[in-house]
Structure 1
Amino acid sequence: MTGKITLVLIFILCICGAKAQVADTVQQQVDIYYSSPKTYELAGVKVVGGDYDGLASIAGLTIGMPIQIPGETITRAIKRLYDQGLFSNISIAVDRIEDDKVYLTMYIQERHKLSKINYIGLKKSEENKIKEKMNLGVGSQVTDFMKTTLKSQVEKYLKEKGYYNTNIKIIQRDDPKEKNYVVLDVIVEKHNKIKIADIIINGNEQMKDGRLKAAMKKTKEKSLVNFFKSSNYIEKNYDEDKYHLVDKYNEKGFRDAVIVSDSVVQISPKRVKIYIDVQEGNKYYFNNISWVGNTIYDSETLSRILNIKKGDVYNSKYLNERITTDEDAVSNIYQNNGYLFSRLMPIETIAGEDSINLEIRVAEGTQATINKVIIQGNNRTHEHVIRRELYVYPGELFSREDIIRSARELANMGHFDPEQIAPDLVNVNQEAGTTDVIFKLVEKANDKIELSGGWGAGMIIGSVGLTFTNFSIRNIFNWDTYRPLPQGDGQTFSLKAQTNGKYYTSFSLSFREPWLGGKKPNSLSVSLYFSRQTGYSSSYRNSYYAQAANASDYYDTRQLMLTYGFSVGLGRRIKWPDDWFTMYNEISFQRYQLKNWPYYIFSNGNSNNLSIATVIKRSSIDNPLFTKRGSEFSFSLALTPPYSLFSSRHFEAEKDQIKYRWIEYHKWKFSGKIFTPLTHSEKRPLVLYASAQYGYLGHYDKNRKSPFEGFEMGGDGMSGYSLYGREYVGLRGYENGSLTNAGSSFMAPQGSDASLYSKFTLELRYPISLAQSATIYALGFLEAGNSWYELKDFEPFNLYRSAGVGLRVFLPMFGLLGIDWGYGFDDVPGRSGVGGSQFHFVLGQEF
């Protein structure tokens, strides 16, 4: 019979490489005629090889449906099942035919599932990176494609790290613990990284090799010049650096410069040579510069902002920066005045052999307003606390400058990760002339805990401090807001205690409300202070650092000094000369009670210090933890009432108890800091920090100079506990206090504080980590300074110099920690050995 096929066991239809499955027993002889297919009613579908409910429905086979045999229905059913990606082998067979009904059997073979991947020959960090890229979980289907992709990803990752001579094998084995599960062993032989032996550049006549090689930021040849830089060959970095090389030509006027050809030649298993052939072309200059389409601003104003003149060397990078990317770019003058949809398109035309005519076409568009200001990510800080720091409001004209300023203010609050503050525009509607502004924030832990201990004078000195920077006093009775204290209103509350037992104890408490009343940025600060200190015993004083039999013998409890103090301050933002300024006014009072105290001007009595202070400050820094750009200047004046001017007494003849009952002085201070990024990287820029500081403590009556508020200079700028109020000024490379009055004449009283100081600092700072968990940066510094007892001794160029390196770590719970090594270059008269090599530690403050 023509076209007749006799299936003695089971008739099998399969496609896509499926292998026929054979029944174990003879069930029925079925005659199928391809020349005359017949239609049956599907009466049943049986699955062999797995327990899957609804598999027939997935295949498109429904009981009772008509099915043609032979026909396309079974072919499509097998294809649908393969598309699920769950099976490695599928076939469908006719089980039996009864009258006009047919019964089918599906034979399936499941794919293996992934139990585990073992990476052999990789570091844990490398393994984690590959896992992130592949995202293969337990139970994933193991296919040849999956294994090929895994191998490719491992190879790609290693190439990105400079490993090119790698051997990678993937071995699949059954998991003895789980049926149908397999373990993949990825065996990696990394060998050595490929390094660049030489970079050979040909065709460069106008640009030196060194300048072109320096433009290639991540592709460096092995040499002494690049000793501290990686010379690994990484293809991705090399491809990027070829663009950087051409950009360097463009910056110098060579607009037509191109890389004609390049090649990477492996000269050994560990080395390659790079050959680059360039064609420089002509050097171009800007010729005529014209503006078209500008109606809001005249051409003269725009040209002045562009800052490019006829005859300047052509520089495409600088042109782009002046049009779009710089803070004072031309586009910003439009976008800061509402013209969100404005566009500036430079059109270049070659004039002659070496000139470029520049026509800048301006599409100004209409002004846009802000529709909504959206805040996301504030889990602890209340929304009104955030909104009051913003400079953008619904209904106002769009301003790019105000958005950037708002992001800076949010960063300076300290409650959010500065690196993740991401203002963006959403729902931009050009027809309606509106846009929404969204600020995406990531909260960070900003509270600090201080726990420290030390050994001094035969006793352990311990201190504990707590600072809560997002405190909420109005929720102090709302237990639901405790985390562990009420939070969210941006207030600062701090407590600190220090003691070495019954001989020295101090307590301090402070509170700051940044928005008093909640409507204006007027701050209120309140602080309280108390300390109690006993003196040394006479035997200890007579034998300096003597070893007493009992530590308690070191102290004389009959000698006592008690110190009380409080201060109240009000601060506000001022808008003149610009709105970066703040003013802070404070009144403070300290009382010193002395009993048999041999370390002061008199032994028994009281001294009082009532003063008022004003601080004017201008700060435009972008990040308080690692500042990349901006400046900070402050000027302060603190003074007491001029008691001596109101009295007819001759204080020169007065007893000290009367003379110093009320302390009088005037204190002037200036500080200037400038932060300048030296590289264009926003993530990890090299920053130059420069600062200058001056301080002067004056008097109204030369016979009544203040014994308080003077300056002690040198070292780390920190102290343990002091006998009376003074200000510590650090200068690295010298011992603590060793530069106090170092520039004064020999007539300066022994142990007295300085009345005048100056200090200058240059630092190069490089961030190692700007993550939320820890801000870490390294630094190198040059420093110089000195202090004087009298104003007449002041010599501005008589400075003690030092240099060194350091490291800073800011941990959210512990604040700023750091270590510096400094070397003091100059000898201090009468104080041998205080300079030279010195280590200094930083706890919660900067120098």
Structure 2
Amino acid sequence: MTGNKKIEKDAILAKVKSKAGDQARRNAIADDIKAVHSLGYFDDVAVDYESGVLTFSVKERPTIVKIDFEGNDQISNKDLQDVIKLKEYSILDVNKVKEDISLIQKHYEEKGFYLARVSYETKPTAKPDEVELIYRVSDFDKVRIKKITFLNNHSFSDDRLKGVLRNTKEGNFFSWISSSGNFKESAFKQDLQILTYFYLNEGYVKFRYEQPIVTVSEDKKWLFVSIYVDEGQRYNVGEIDFSGDLLYDKKELGEATQMTTGQIFSIQKRNDDIQRLTEKYQDLGYAFVNVNPKMNIHDDSRTVDIRYDFEKGNLTHFGEINVLGNSKTRDKVIRRELRIREGELYNGTRLRVSRERVERLGYFAPGEVVFNSVTRKDKKDVVDIEINVKERSTGTVTVGMGYGSIQKFFLTTQIAEINLFGRGQNLSLAGQYASDRVSRSLSLGFTEPYLFDSLWSAGVDVFLVSFPIPNKYLEFKDGFDFKFGHPLEDDLYVYTTYKFEHLTLDQINYSVDPNLQVGDDVGNMSSVGVSFVRDKRNNRFETSKGNYESVSTELAGVGANKNFAKFIGEGRFYHPITEDLTFRTKLEIGHTLKTTDKNVPPSEKFYLGGPNNLKGYDTFTVSPKDAADIPLGGASELLYIAELEIPLIKEAGVKMVFFYDMGNSYATFHDLVNVTSLKKDVGFGFRWFSPIGPLRFEWGFPIKPVGNEGNVVFNFFIGPPF
């Protein structure tokens, strides 16, 4: 070995397969030359064979002693150094230099500098085996998409198709904050696939597009994107059939599919049907069933026949179940949500339900709960399950400010942790302070969802509240409650609650009413309650689909002098419109009534208005009122909320919300049927999902305000919507 100065001889010879004593063969020597050259350290490799000695002569590439950048006015040297893979004092490899140029180019593109161009040169130094590497950049100014134009689109407007593109958007007012308007070639190619998928979902099975044209304005500040499409005709579903390893009769398989003959063909619905059919076979233990859709397109009738062909494979059992990625959350917290067990026959439905239950915990980032089925090499009929999770912050800080006619300006705050010490326990501390200096509250709560590793849940709350009843007195209330729950089904729970409160009064105002009677308003309140909850939300933190319903009843008077009954029914519904859009609604109805001749305590009545219900009205102002326009609290309530959140700056977590609220608090239950008296408001706001929680800035506009009701109410709140 000759010519090697920096590279050790043994490191080179390790790539040579020819050995002393071998017969010299031309092909073998040629392979050795290629192997040595593949090390990337040499510009030239030659071989000389004389008198039985095989001599390799190499010419080493120079060492890079310095890497520099020139012309990069828009991005710093340090930023570019982090992008490239070559480092100082590594061997100069032209192929790796070209790879770095591609990385720099891509980095500029992601930052919005679509016109940036990168080249390189090497500069000799005083030593012949050392060079300086210089990347030369022509970065120009940031260029954004000015206009996206679709050509030959007859079925859908340009605006509709622009909305389909997920990453490629026209520049707007917020482009300086987000990457909106940036052109990224890789992302644009993905968007073209999404566009194709959109048309296939709408029945255009022969949709095509030509190579898009991207042009630059003369001032090199704007891009214009033109996309020519060939939509073709819309096709309907023709005949649906099944073949292969049929374990069910065709009628039962047909009932499991969503698409039917005569419907507009949809690739998404077809894929959903494949998943449904796959799961039916997996429920019988055939984990690796293959459902192959074979489509026959009829241009004359514009229909698509679909035949699902089944290859059932072998029966499979669950093997080991392993949890990965949970640095904080304990294994048992995840495993107790599973509906599969090691050694059982494979079941697709129970596997899916297990994943949904783990997602619903809210401890992990959305979309970051992945169940992988891994076949054992030694046992093809055993499948190990790997559960990969990515944990998220489960602690929240909620802060809210508002104004009410009773408390005036007030501040509320809550600190909560729903996965305490990784055990799945819930701890919260909440408080409220008002500028009237008398309206205050403090509460501490703890919940153990699996008491002693059983299916029972248990919780305890302690609280202290002071609240002024206008023109009467200041009410003090302290107490505690215990709550126990048990599942009736996977998504249905029953809870029983016992609550005790001690009520005292201060600052009794006899000047307004010398005959004011307060005897019934002091003493103890002891109540028991039962509630039923069905929770089918996909995530407790960032719900995008599913529903939540609860019905509860509370009966007071057990060993105390406060006697009343209270009923509340609530439903929340989440409808995904697109991947980024969710339409959510909430309906709530409540009623409280006295069960003896004693009145219901004012604090147990219903007051509406504020950031969590009627956002166009001041906090606690919507209820029956006395002659002085002071809220008295209602015996019944009806509330409806509808919201639509629209991503505004997706990268920064900023959304715009539009809402409609409707409801009222009534003196009697019979007034609920008087829908003409419902208070209504509309409004909009901005929500920033920040590290400390969702920051909500919302403006509510009451519809037909009366009396002292204003024309607009601004609410600032830190905390999630319903």
Q: 2:156 & 2:413 partners in 1: Cα distance? A: 60
Q: 1:428 to 1:191 in 2, by over 3 A?
A: same
- Alignment partner of 2:278: what SS? helix
Shift of 1:690: 1.3
Query: What amino acid is aligned across from residue 252 of structure 2 in structure 1?
Result: T
Please identify, of 440-449 and 73-82, the stretch whose mean Cα deviation from structure 2 is larger.
73-82
Shift of 1:393: 1.1
Q: 2:553 & 2:486 partners in 1: Cα distance? A: 17
Q: 1:396 to 1:231 in 2, by over 3 A?
A: same
- The aligned counterpart of 1:526 is 460
Q: 1:574 & 1:147 partners in 2: Cα distance? A: 64
User: CA offsets, 1:27-67, max 9 Å, x none?
Assistant: xxxxxxxxxxxxxxxxxx897865968678669799xx899
Q: 1:705 to 1:330 in 2, by over 3 A?
A: same
Q: 1:48 to 1:287 in 2, by over 3 A?
A: closer
Please identify, of 118-127 and 135-144, the stretch whose mean Cα deviation from structure 2 is larger.
118-127
Are 2:291 and 1:347 aligned?
Answer: no
- The aligned counterpart of 1:41 is none
Are 2:116 and 1:166 aligned?
Answer: yes
- The aligned counterpart of 2:716 is 841
- The aligned counterpart of 1:547 is none
Selected match of 2:282 from 313, 322, 335:
335
Selected match of 2:232 from 275, 280, 301:
280
- The aligned counterpart of 2:488 is 574
- The aligned counterpart of 2:657 is 779
Shift of 1:571: 0.6
Q: How does 1:597-616 map to 2 (within 5 A)?
A: 597-598=508-509, 606-616=522-532
- The aligned counterpart of 1:671 is 570
Shift of 1:572: 0.8
Q: 1:563 & 1:343 partners in 2: Cα distance? A: 64
Shift of 1:620: 0.6
Are 2:113 and 2:139, in contact at CA under 8 Å, matched by a contact in 1? Answer: no
Q: 1:491 & 1:445 partners in 2: Cα distance? A: 14
Q: How does 1:742-781 map to 2 (within 5 A)?
A: 750-766=630-646, 777-781=655-659
- The aligned counterpart of 2:537 is 621
Q: 1:346 to 1:493 in 2, by over 3 A?
A: closer
Shift of 1:339: 2.9
- The aligned counterpart of 2:701 is 824
Q: How does 1:558-707 map to 2 (within 5 A)?
A: 562-575=476-489, 579-595=490-506, 597-598=508-509, 606-641=522-557, 662-679=561-578, 681=579, 685-701=580-596, 704-707=599-602
Q: 1:411 to 1:602 in 2, by over 3 A?
A: farther
- Alignment partner of 2:363: what SS? coil
Selected match of 1:735 from 593, 618, 623:
618
Shift of 1:220: 7.5
Are 2:399 and 2:718, in contact at CA under 8 Å, matched by a contact in 1? Answer: no
Shift of 1:131: 6.1
Q: 1:596 & 1:275 partners in 2: Cα distance? A: 74
Q: 1:748 & 1:187 partners in 2: Cα distance? A: 74
Q: 1:82 & 1:308 partners in 2: Cα distance? A: 59
Are 1:466 and 1:496, in contact at CA under 8 Å, matched by a contact in 2? Answer: yes
Query: What amino acid is aligned across from residue 691 of structure 1 in structure 2?
Result: K
Please identify, of 428-437 and 700-709, the stretch whose mean Cα deviation from structure 2 is larger.
428-437
Q: How does 1:289-438 map to 2 (within 5 A)?
A: 289-293=240-244, 295-313=246-264, 315-325=265-275, 329-350=276-297, 353-354=300-301, 355-427=303-375, 432-438=380-386
Query: What amino acid is aligned across from residue 528 of structure 1 in structure 2?
Result: V
Q: 1:429 to 1:780 in 2, by over 3 A?
A: farther
- Alignment partner of 2:675: what SS? coil
User: CA offsets, 1:778-829, max 9 Å, x none?
Assistant: 43222222222233443224332223333445567x5x44223223233443
Identity %: 19
Please identify, of 494-503 and 661-670, the stretch whose mean Cα deviation from structure 2 is larger.
494-503
Query: What amino acid is aligned across from residue 99 of structure 2 in structure 1?
Result: T
Q: 1:175 to 1:337 in 2, by over 3 A?
A: farther
- The aligned counterpart of 2:91 is 141
Are 2:621 and 1:710 aligned?
Answer: no
Are 1:116 and 1:138, in contact at CA under 8 Å, matched by a contact in 2? Answer: yes
**TM-score (normalised: structure 2):** 0.80
Are 2:402 and 2:610, in contact at CA under 8 Å, matched by a contact in 1? Answer: no
Q: 2:633 & 2:660 partners in 1: Cα distance? A: 25
Query: What amino acid is aligned across from residue 839 of structure 1 in structure 2?
Result: F
Q: Which runs of 5+ in 1 are unaligned?
A: 1-44, 95-99, 472-486, 542-558, 644-660, 718-729
Query: What amino acid is aligned across from residue 819 of structure 1 in structure 2?
Result: R
Query: What amino acid is aligned across from residue 523 of structure 1 in structure 2?
Result: S
Q: Kindly tell me the number of residue pairs found equivalent between the two proteins.
A: 703
Query: What amino acid is aligned across from residue 707 of structure 1 in structure 2?
Result: P
- Alignment partner of 2:332: what SS? helix
Query: What amino acid is aligned across from residue 713 of structure 1 in structure 2?
Result: L
**TM-score (normalised: structure 1):** 0.70
Are 2:103 and 1:153 aligned?
Answer: yes
Selected match of 2:683 from 800, 804, 816:
804
Q: 1:740 & 1:467 partners in 2: Cα distance? A: 30
Higher relative contact order (CA 8 A, sep 6+): 2
Q: 1:126 & 1:664 partners in 2: Cα distance? A: 74
Are 2:688 and 2:696, in contact at CA under 8 Å, matched by a contact in 1? Answer: no
Please identify, of 527-536 and 115-124, the stretch whose mean Cα deviation from structure 2 is larger.
527-536
- Alignment partner of 1:426: what SS? strand
Are 2:169 and 1:182 aligned?
Answer: no
- The aligned counterpart of 1:552 is none
- Alignment partner of 2:497: what SS? strand
- Alignment partner of 1:440: what SS? strand
Q: Which has the larger radius of gyration?
A: 1
Q: 1:51 to 1:233 in 2, by over 3 A?
A: closer
User: CA offsets, 1:369-390, max 9 Å, x none?
Assistant: 2122211222233322221111
Q: 1:455 & 1:802 partners in 2: Cα distance? A: 17
Q: 2:432 & 2:224 partners in 1: Cα distance? A: 62
Q: 1:422 to 1:220 in 2, by over 3 A?
A: closer
Q: 2:654 & 2:663 partners in 1: Cα distance? A: 27
- What is the root-mean-square deviation in Å for CA atoms of aligned residues? 5.1
Shift of 1:523: 0.7
Q: 2:518 & 2:601 partners in 1: Cα distance? A: 17
Q: 1:796 to 1:209 in 2, by over 3 A?
A: closer
- Alignment partner of 1:349: what SS? strand
Are 2:168 and 2:184, in contact at CA under 8 Å, matched by a contact in 1? Answer: no
